[in-house]
Structure 1
Amino acid sequence: MVAEEEAAAEEKVNAGKEREEAEEEEMQQQIDEIEKLRKELAAAKEAAEGYLNKLKYLMADFDNYRKQMEKHAASRVETIKAELLLKFLNIRDDYQRAVESARQKKSEPAVIEGLEGILKNIDSLLSSEGVMPIEAVGTPFDPSVHDAIAFSPREDAKENTVTAEIRRGYMLNGKVLRPSMVEIARKIVKNSDVANNGGAGEE
């Protein structure tokens, strides 16, 4: 009887140990599974960050490309606009000559007024597009906005001063659209000045 009770107690203890071992094994499996999931989550997060960075680079490249295309398109539009405005300037030159010719020939006032009206409308259109005339006569010669095509010996003007405007020049939004064709002064050297300079040299 005692032996049976001891055997039953030992069996009960062994069963408890087996149950504890099974629970520990199950818990370890759960821990391993959680660790595995944690590693997979970290790898997925790292991959997602990599994809996000690549996406950011692609978006930045696309934005730069878009800006370049917009800049190129704007530049092309400005070039086409400048070409068209140059043609309008040539038309304006023709009407300016027509007005001057009509005045010289003393044409009918209505004809002169009509030509002047057209010329005024052209000037208004050019001004609305940012086209402004370049100052020339009486200003110092500036090769960035003036083209010297003639020289005038003058005593009453400072050397390299623009004395006449052959063809009017224009600026477009601060840039030269068409340079002015001008005549500039050349100082006349008087014989008395030469003699004085020569005499000074001899001394």
Structure 2
Amino acid sequence: MKKSKEKKEKKSEDLKTEENASVEAEVDDSEVDSDDSTEVMAEEIVEEVAEETEEEKLRAKVAELEERILRNSAEFENYKKRTARQYDDMVKFANEKTISEMLEIVDNFDRALSQKNEELELESFKEGIALINSQMHDLLHRYNVKPIESLGKPFDPNLHEAMMQVESDEFEEGCVAFEMSKGYLMGDKVIRHAKVGVAKAKQEETEEK
């Protein structure tokens, strides 16, 4: 009886030990699961914060770019308006200096023509006209305008406008025989073609039969 009782007590103790071990294992597993869950939650929170921070940075960058675009657009509009005003002024007053310099020549013409006939001698009148002509050519020279030398030169459609063909003993065929009006260059640019007559071969007179 005594041995049987001891066996039962020992068996009961073994069961308690196993139960305690099982409980401890469950507690340990629960603690591990809890730690893992906490780490996962922490990682998720960190990721959410990082995403929010990145989104805020992107929004700030977009706002900065939008502000810069608006500012550049406004500056460009102001530039266009300013350039348009400058262009209008340039076109409006482009010839102001030239016209101002020509006024002195006009004054000389007026003075020459205002002389009374009895006071005007032909020679002095010619000298006055020659002086005015010289002033005009000096003005053209200051603006780099020069006449095209055409007489006796081969006809060049880039410089000349042929008005007619004429027979000539003096000039070779295809050369400019005379000028109806001079042509002019401003620098290397033709601003007026010379109107010319072009020499052609002289036809031989047929002998009378």
Q: Which residue does the alignment assign to 1:36? A: 51
Q: Aligned partners of 2:137, 2:34: CA distance in 1, in Å?
A: 103
Q: Which residue does the alignment assign to 1:142? A: 156
Q: Using the TM superposition, give the Cα deviation of residue 161 of structure 1 relative to its aligned residue in structure 2, in angstroms.
A: 1.1
What TM-score, normalized to structure 1? 0.52
Identity %: 25
Q: Using the TM superposition, give the Cα deviation of residue 166 of structure 1 relative to its aligned residue in structure 2, in angstroms.
A: 1.9
2:170 is the alignment partner of 1:156: yes
Q: What pairs up with 1:79-94 in 2 under 5 angstroms?
A: none
Which letter maps to 1:160? G
Q: Aligned partners of 2:137, 2:48: CA distance in 1, in Å?
A: 84
What's the secondary structure of 1:139's corresponding residue? coil
**Structure 1 unmatched ranges of 5 or more:** 99-105, 196-203
Q: Aligned partners of 1:166, 1:32: CA distance in 2, in Å?
A: 91
Preserved contact between residue 145 and residue 185 of structure 2 (Cα < 8 Å): yes
Q: Using the TM superposition, give the Cα deviation of residue 137 of structure 1 relative to its aligned residue in structure 2, in angstroms.
A: 0.3
Q: Which residue does the alignment assign to 1:107? A: 122
Aligned residues: 153
Q: Which residue does the alignment assign to 1:103? A: none
Q: Aligned partners of 2:39, 2:165: CA distance in 1, in Å?
A: 109
Among 127, 132, 149, the residue aligned to 1:118: 132
Q: Aligned partners of 1:188, 1:140: CA distance in 2, in Å?
A: 17
Preserved contact between residue 161 and residue 195 of structure 2 (Cα < 8 Å): yes
Shift >3 Å, 4+ stretches: 9-19, 37-42
Report the CA distance shift for 1:29/1:161 in structure 2 as closer, same or farther (over 3 A): same
What's the secondary structure of 1:160's corresponding residue? coil
What's the secondary structure of 1:108's corresponding residue? helix
Q: Using the TM superposition, give the Cα deviation of residue 165 of structure 1 relative to its aligned residue in structure 2, in angstroms.
A: 1.6
Q: Which residue does the alignment assign to 1:199? A: none
- Cα RMSD of the aligned pairs, angstroms, is 4.6
Q: Aligned partners of 2:52, 2:184: CA distance in 1, in Å?
A: 74
**Structure 2 unmatched ranges of 5 or more:** 1-12, 113-120
Q: Using the TM superposition, give the Cα deviation of residue 152 of structure 1 relative to its aligned residue in structure 2, in angstroms.
A: 2.8
Which whole-Å deviations, capped at 9, do the CAs of 1:8-35 have from their partners, x for residues lacking one?
Answer: x949757844752453143222343156
Preserved contact between residue 150 and residue 183 of structure 1 (Cα < 8 Å): yes
What TM-score, normalized to structure 2? 0.51
Preserved contact between residue 157 and residue 187 of structure 1 (Cα < 8 Å): no
Q: Aligned partners of 1:156, 1:25: CA distance in 2, in Å?
A: 110
